[in-house]
């Protein structure tokens, strides 16, 4: 190496070290603001987070999350995201159209990692935001926030390629302290998967101690793994092998016992961003916020908004616009359509479905929308996660009749 090149390299490394030292000397909130602002517009690997940054936000987020109850008690107005599955661009789009946590309250239903290409970026940004805005960012656990699932479906491999295995273990330590469910305004029950025959009153969840690994069966497993099924009346063993399917009767009983109105969940693909699995009953809704689950079909990413008066709506994220919220206008002056569908609280069918265009649509988006299939009921064929999940063999389950809460 030439002497000039060596001097230049030393100068560059000195500048980098100086900037890192300056970052560490910042007030914690100033440092978080710098990391978040960089991540929101960054096109770099890891959204600009260094390994030192990642260790810091994981450690800080773990401390904040561990201080919360396993059952969160939240108040509207609030916006809700379903599964993200490593789709960092969809997360940025949601913030772009729904508002940043500096002014907007957000609840995330889990499954931040696996399948998509940028799981690390998703969790790093969310952990940084949880540290910065602990009263406006709330993170629930999904079934993929576990050592077992994330070692199979891509997150462990992504960590090995971009970071190292030790960092994957650090992320999993944070996953083990994530809250398991939330109740909004004593009316809406929010969870990743669903209800359980072991769950009578939601207060049971608040008594679950964390950190905890996801058991092979039982209440915690069902909260993160179970599914609604229109062909089931009450509870039946699931084809997944480790949990249950639950029907309309079970949902109604759970809501009645707990004086709730609506179950809000993720866990399953909703091709149009959201669906009501027991239509025409609107007492359960599935929200999905990842557009990249199937290369062969258009999957609409969506977030849900609950207003202060408990009216709720769904915002479908645009298909054809850049996710990064640059201050400049959309490329070529194109504008984006966001469809909002508003309803009263669950159980009321008096308010008709409403669609409101925020702006005029771009040509490509208009073509995409025309090609989509019409709205349909959630069925076994279109509700399953896109990759078949491995059966959990040799799991010793209590008979279902013994598990049902009376």
For tokens 């799981």, the residue is 119
**From CA 314, how far away is CA 302, in angstroms rounded?**
7
The two tokens of residue 112 are 């931040």
Any residues with CB less than 8 A from the CB of 344 and at least 6 apart, and which? 311, 350, 351
Of residues 144, 192, 267, 293, which has the active-site annotation? Answer: 144
The two tokens of residue 96 are 């772009």
- Dihedral over Cα of 69, 70, 76, 82: its sign: positive
**From CA 9, how far away is CA 70, in angstroms rounded?**
49
Q: 406 catalytic, yes or no?
A: no
Dihedral-angle region of residue 57 (phi above 0 means left; psi in -120 to 50 means alpha; beta otherwise)? alpha
| Burial track 291-330 (b if 16+ CB lie within 10 A, e otherwise) | bbbeeeeebbbbbbbbeeebebbbbbbbbbbebeeeeeee
**From CA 189, how far away is CA 344, in angstroms rounded?**
16
**From CA 65, how far away is CA 140, in angstroms rounded?**
10
Q: How many CB atoms lie within 10 A of CB 354?
A: 11
Q: Give the residue numbers marked as catalytic.
A: 144
């Amino acid at each position: 190496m030439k002497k000039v090149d060596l001097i230049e390299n030393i100068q560059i490394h000195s500048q980098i070290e100086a900037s890192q030292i300056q970052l560490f000397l910042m007030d914690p909130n100033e440092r978080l603001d710098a990391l978040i602002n960089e991540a929101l517009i960054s096109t770099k690997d890891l959204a600009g987070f260094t390994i030192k940054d990642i260790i810091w936000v994981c450690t800080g987020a773990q401390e904040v999350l561990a201080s919360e109850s396993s059952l969160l008690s939240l108040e509207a107005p609030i916006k809700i995201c379903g599964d993200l599955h490593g789709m960092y661009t969809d997360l940025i789009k949601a913030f772009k159209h729904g508002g940043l946590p500096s002014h907007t309250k957000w609840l995330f239903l889990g499954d931040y990692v696996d399948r998509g290409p940028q799981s690390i970026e998703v969790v790093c940004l969310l952990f940084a935001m949880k540290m910065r805005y602990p009263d406006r960012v709330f993170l629930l656990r999904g079934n993929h926030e576990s050592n077992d699932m994330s070692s199979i479906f891509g997150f462990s491999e992504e960590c090995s390629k971009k970071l190292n295995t030790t960092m994957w273990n650090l992320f999993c330590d944070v996953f083990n302290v994530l809250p398991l469910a939330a109740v909004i305004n004593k009316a809406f029950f929010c969870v990743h998967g669903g209800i359980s025959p072991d769950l009578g009153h939601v207060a049971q969840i608040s008594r679950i101690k964390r950190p905890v690994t996801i058991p092979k069966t039982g209440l915690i497993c069902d909260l993160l793994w179970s599914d609604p099924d229109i062909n089931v009346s009450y509870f039946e063993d699931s084809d997944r092998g480790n949990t249950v399917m639950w029907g309309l009767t079970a949902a109604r009983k759970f809501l009645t016992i707990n004086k709730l109105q609506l179950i809000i969940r993720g866990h399953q693909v909703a091709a149009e961003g959201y669906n009501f699995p027991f239509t025409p009953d609107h007492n359960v809704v599935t929200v999905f916020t990842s557009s990249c689950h199937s290369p062969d079909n258009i999957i609409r990413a969506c977030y849900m908004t609950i207003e202060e008066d408990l009216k709720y709506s769904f915002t479908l994220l645009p298909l054809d616009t850049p996710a990064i919220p640059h201050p400049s206008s959309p490329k070529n002056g194109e504008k984006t359509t966001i469809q909002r569908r508003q309803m009263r609280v669950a159980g009321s069918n008096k308010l008709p479905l409403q669609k409101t265009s925020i702006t005029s649509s771009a040509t490509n988006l208009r073509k995409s929308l025309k090609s989509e299939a019409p709205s349909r009921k959630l069925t076994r064929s279109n509700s399953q996660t896109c990759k078949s999940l491995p059966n959990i063999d040799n799991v010793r389950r209590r008979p279902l009749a013994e598990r049902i809460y009376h």
